[in-house]
Amino acid sequence: MSRAKSSRKLYSTVPDKIFDVCNIIFMICLMVVTLYPFLNMFALSFNDANDSIRGSIYIWPRVWTTANYEYIFNESSVFHATLISALRTIVGTIISVFCTAMLAYTVSRQEYVLKKFVTIAFVFTMYFNGGLIPNYLLTKELGLLNNFWVYIIPGIIGVFNMIVIRSFIEGLPEGIMESARIDGAGEFTTFMRIVLPLTVPALATVSLFVAVSQWNSWFDVFLYNSSRIELSTLQYELMKILSTSNTAANSSGSAADAFASAQGNITAVTPTSIRATMTIVASVPIILVYPFLQKYFVKGMTVGGVKG
Amino acid sequence: MVGKHTSQTVVAASTATGSSRIARFFKQLSKQKMLMLMSLPFLIWVLIFKYVPLYGWTIAFQKFRPARDLFNQEWVGLSNFKFLFQEEAFYRVLRNTLVMSSINLVLGFVTAIVLAILLNELRNILFKRTVQTISYLPHFISWVVAANIVQTALAPEGIINILLLKLNLIDQPVLWLGKGEYFWSILGATEVWKNVGWNTIIYLAAITTIDPAQYEAAEIDGASRFQRILHITLPGMKSVIVILLIMNLGHILESGFEPQYLLGNGMNVDYSENLDIFVLKYGMNMGNYGLATAAGMFKTVVSFIFLMAANNIAKRLGESRLY
């Protein structure tokens, strides 16, 4: 390998070097285009709202202030919505990942007589679903409208996630589980004590997917819980602000109120500054977490992509 | 009880092999009680949350009145479908759905493959890792945040207008989201921005399976960089490209919902409204459950036919099956 590398350097020609330079410039442009919007939102969120109206805030605040953050966390429902977002993310991820892993374990067992039946019953639902209206009516019938649990229960099992975990368990050496069984451990004990700890890489991947989708979802709030403000989430609050500032879009009442109170407030925040601040609050947890799980999700995607 | 049980087993064993297989099945099942207990709650869950809504497809054949329960509705045969196929708006949303998913398909493929190849050509590993990590970021943020970003960037005083004005490409700020004919391009660009990095993962994985000796041999033979990409890297990615292309063709009616809903407005509705928004509008806003369910059912069934066809093509081309 090292010989090949050095020979590459020796024989690298002029066009080769031009290509390298262009490639690096292109990659830098890509990073700028990806990061600029976040830096811009960051700058707007820490800049004085009235000063921002003058324009030309790009990647750094001109007049530093934390007033925007103080405003959204003190005087509006945003703080409560952030708590609900965090709660559904934590509770939803723990329950969903545990249940999906347990189901994945049962269908990974070759001798399980219902293995095929269970697998087909779940994979079928990847292609056929009732759609919006039947799901809505079911949710209503089950009393899950205006209920926190509508965020958790309908999404407990993700079939794609199940396939990722199952493939991982199938790759574990059979001997480990066999020896546990010889020692008299039951299936559940084997699952809890042996399989779960060994499956951590797959669980990390799936946890990230579930947590991100929990944190990011707003449509279930909109569809099922929009009449109970205390169940609103951060993303839904942001969505309401977005749709009011969307010219001629169907406006929603409470967001318009938020707007009015924002504009009339003496701390002088503007819709733009609130939007930017909420965007940052909604993105920061994700920005802080995903880079550390990179090696897991890259592997998980590759496995799921090939076998799923 | 015990005697009865044994006699049954004996009878079962003596009569037919079919029933003995059933007996053996139940015997095995009773041995695997714990495994069954572990999957049973989820079988009940999938029955309630995934299969009961399928029964809800009957709404497509009813004149549904929410005040009555599901079993006392008036049956109207195919009239919801007839109405749907005569509705001009339905063809418009169908066109929008197909155009937007085709744009996403082509753009998504080309950009991800090109980026994967270019990433693979980077020599500095640390730089490569940094680019990759940053490029994954937009995939993880919500569509609400992404829509916010797009709207801010495309606003009259937004960065896109500022740049274009400075480059003298336009004379005055353009209201990008206010003009329907720009919507498809904006959506395509947004999808690329959000997912191009993420989509490279699977191609980069395919590239790592290529034998490095091939590159060395090509280099010794005097192949240029471009020739190496064309004759080694691309063929090495071929099977993954074909599989993903076919799989995505099966999802041609899935043009997404969130970006169109969040970026759509009264001025671009003729171009932004797709099937999913149509279902939401007719079902939830207008209360026409029958028509909305019929449209949803149309989508699922056609998607499934596409997917089956795609899978068959994949098999015939000798590529590995999707599932």
Query: Distance (Å, rounded) from C-alpha A160 to C-alpha A170?
Result: 15
Same domain, A75 and A61: no
Residue that terminates a domain, selected from A34, A65, A96:
A65
Mean pLDDT (whole number) for A254-276: 62
DSSP-based three-state secondary structure for B66: coil
What is the 3-state secondary structure of A37-57? HHHHHHHHHHECHHHHCCCCC
Query: Hey, is the C-beta of B171 within 8 angstroms of any chain A C-beta?
Result: no
Q: How far is A264 from chain B (nearest CA, A)?
A: 23
Q: What is the pLDDT of residue B318?
A: 66
Q: Determine, for residues A302 and B202 on separate chains, whether the beta-carbon distance falls below 8 Å.
A: yes
Top mean pLDDT of A81-95, A249-263, B13-27 is at A81-95
Q: What is the pLDDT of residue A51?
A: 85
Same domain, A179 and A99: yes
Q: Which of B30, B42, B61, B176 is the mutation pick for testing A, counting most A CBs within 10 A?
A: B42
Confidence of residue A254 (pLDDT cuts 50, 70, 90): very low
Can you say how many angstroms the Cα of residue B80 is from the centroid of all Cα atoms in its chain?
27
Average pLDDT, rounded, for chain B? 87
Same domain, A83 and A38: no
Phi and psi angles of residue B63, each rounded to the nearest 5 degrees, phi first: -95, 95
Phi and psi angles of residue B254, each rounded to the nearest 5 degrees, phi first: -95, 85
DSSP, residue by residue, A166-201: HHHHHTS-HHHHHHHHHTT--HHHIIIIIIHHHTHH
Any residues with CB less than 8 A from the CB of A144 and at least 6 apart, and which? A150, A153, A154, A224
Which of A195-204, B206-215, B239-248 shows the lowest per-residue confidence on average (mean pLDDT)?
B239-248
Q: Determine, for residues A235 and B142 on separate chains, whether the beta-carbon distance falls below 8 Å.
A: yes
Q: How far is A81 from chain B (nearest CA, A)?
A: 15
Which of A226-235, B60-69, B141-150 shows the lowest per-residue confidence on average (mean pLDDT)?
B60-69
Mean pLDDT (whole number) for A192-201: 91
Same domain, A125 and A49: no
Q: Determine, for residues A129 and B50 on separate chains, whether the beta-carbon distance falls below 8 Å.
A: yes
Same domain, A14 and A96: no
Same domain, A147 and A11: no
Q: What is the pLDDT of residue B276?
A: 92
Query: How many Cα neighbours within 13 Å face the side chain of B55?
Result: 9
Same domain, A217 and A287: yes
Q: What is the pLDDT of residue A215?
A: 96
Q: Are A205 and A100 in contact (CB under 8 A)?
A: no
Beta bridge partners of B75: B62
Query: Hey, is the C-beta of B229 within 8 angstroms of any chain A C-beta?
Result: no
Burial of B193 (0-12, 13-18, 19+ CB in 10 A): buried
**Residue pairs spanning A and B at CB distance below 8 A:** 252
Q: Determine, for residues B118 and A26 on separate chains, whether the beta-carbon distance falls below 8 Å.
A: yes
Put simply, the chain B residues between 38 and 57 with a CB less than 8 A from any chain A CB are 38-39, 41-43, 45-46, 48-57
Mean pLDDT (whole number) for A187-214: 92
Which residue of A130, A217, A279 is in closest CB contact with B57?
A130
Query: Distance (Å, rounded) from C-alpha B6 to C-alpha B167?
Result: 90
Q: Indicate if the pLDDT at residue B321 is higher than 70.
A: no
> What does the radius of gyration of chain B's CA atoms come to, in whole angstroms?
27
Which of the two residues, A270 and B302, has the higher pLDDT score? B302
Q: Indicate if the pLDDT at residue A259 is higher than 90.
A: no
Which of A151-160, A221-230, B247-256 shows the lowest per-residue confidence on average (mean pLDDT)?
B247-256
Comparing alpha-carbon positions, the chain A residue that sits nearest to B53 is: A130
Comparing alpha-carbon positions, the chain A residue that sits nearest to B208 is: A302
Mean pLDDT (whole number) for B257-282: 91
pLDDT tens-digit map of A41-51: 999 999 988 88
Query: Distance (Å, rounded) from C-alpha B150 to C-alpha A246?
Result: 12
Average pLDDT, rounded, for chain A? 85
Taking the domain B82-316, which CATH number applies?
1.10.3720.10
- Domain of residue A43 covers 2-65
Residue that terminates a domain, selected from A47, A65, A83:
A65
Q: What is the pLDDT of residue A271?
A: 83
Q: What is the pLDDT of residue A96?
A: 97
Put simply, the chain A residues between 90 and 149 with a CB less than 8 A from any chain B CB are 99, 102-103, 105-107, 109, 111-114, 118, 121-123, 125, 127-138, 142
Q: How far is A16 from chain B (nearest CA, A)?
A: 7
Query: How many Cα neighbours within 13 Å face the side chain of A274?
Result: 31
Q: Determine, for residues A130 and B212 on separate chains, whether the beta-carbon distance falls below 8 Å.
A: no
Q: What is the pLDDT of residue A246?
A: 60
Same domain, A93 and A211: yes
Phi and psi angles of residue B179, each rounded to the nearest 5 degrees, phi first: -110, 115
Which of the two residues, B13 and B16, has the higher pLDDT score? B16
Which residue of B32, B123, B143 is in closest CB contact with A112?
B32
Q: What is the pLDDT of residue B251?
A: 82
Q: Are B160 and B154 in contact (CB under 8 A)?
A: yes
Any residues with CB less than 8 A from the CB of B121 and at least 6 apart, and which? A19, A20, A23, B225, B229
- Give the other-Cβ count within 10 Å of A101's Cβ: 22
Q: Indicate if the pLDDT at residue B14 is higher than 70.
A: no
Q: What is the pLDDT of residue B266?
A: 85
Q: What is the pLDDT of residue B107?
A: 94
Q: What is the pLDDT of residue B17?
A: 65
pLDDT tens-digit map of B66-107: 777 767 788 888 888 998 999 889 999 999 999 999 999 999
Same domain, A46 and A78: no
Which residue of B45, B144, B215 is in closest CB contact with A239?
B144
Q: What is the pLDDT of residue B8?
A: 47
Query: Hey, is the C-beta of B210 within 8 angstroms of any chain A C-beta?
Result: no
Residue that terminates a domain, selected from A65, A89, A108:
A65
pTM for this model (two decimals): 0.86
Query: Distance (Å, rounded) from C-alpha B155 to C-alpha B174?
Result: 8
**Domain ranges for chain B:** 1-31, 39-77, 82-316
Q: How far is A217 from chain B (nearest CA, A)?
A: 7
Q: How far is B166 from chain A (nearest CA, A)?
A: 13
Beta bridge partners of B62: B75
Q: Indicate if the pLDDT at residue A3 is higher than 50.
A: no
Q: How many domains does chain A have?
A: 2
CATH code where residue A232 lies: 1.10.3720.10
Mean pLDDT (whole number) for B151-167: 91
Same domain, A36 and A89: no
On chain B, the residues whose CB falls within 8 A of the CB of A282 are: 141-142, 144-145
On chain B, the residues whose CB falls within 8 A of the CB of A232 are: none
Which residue of B264, B296, B307 is in closest CB contact with A127?
B307
Confidence of residue B319 (pLDDT cuts 50, 70, 90): low
Which of A6-20, A92-106, A218-232, B153-167 shows the lowest per-residue confidence on average (mean pLDDT)?
A6-20
Query: Distance (Å, rounded) from C-alpha B120 to C-alpha B312?
Result: 32
Can you list the alpha helix ranges (DSSP code H) found in chain B? 2-15, 17-31, 33-46, 52-55, 79-86, 88-121, 125-140, 143-154, 159-166, 180-208, 212-220, 225-228, 234-249, 258-263, 269-272, 275-280, 289-316
Query: Hey, is the C-beta of B160 within 8 angstroms of any chain A C-beta?
Result: no
Same domain, A46 and A80: no
Same domain, A258 and A283: yes
Comparing alpha-carbon positions, the chain A residue that sits nearest to B222 is: A11
Comparing alpha-carbon positions, the chain B residue that sits nearest to A162 is: B42
pLDDT tens-digit map of A118-137: 999 999 998 888 889 999 99
DSSP-based three-state secondary structure for B321: coil
Q: Which of A133, A212, A236 is the mutation pick for testing B, counting most B CBs within 10 A?
A: A133
Which of the two residues, B252 and A306, has the higher pLDDT score? B252
Instruction: Quickly tell me which residue has 């939401």 as its tokens.
Output: B280
Mean pLDDT (whole number) for B239-263: 86
Mean pLDDT (whole number) for A91-102: 97
Q: Indicate if the pLDDT at residue B174 is higher than 70.
A: yes
Q: Indicate if the pLDDT at residue A5 is higher than 70.
A: no
Query: Hey, is the C-beta of A156 within 8 angstroms of any chain B C-beta?
Result: yes
Mean pLDDT (whole number) for B259-284: 91
Any residues with CB less than 8 A from the CB of B37 and at least 6 apart, and which? none
Instruction: Quickly tell me which residue has 């690096």 as its tokens.
Output: A24
Q: Indicate if the pLDDT at residue A69 is higher than 80.
A: yes
- The share of chain B scoring above pLDDT 70, in percent, equals 92
On chain B, the residues whose CB falls within 8 A of the CB of A248 are: 265-267
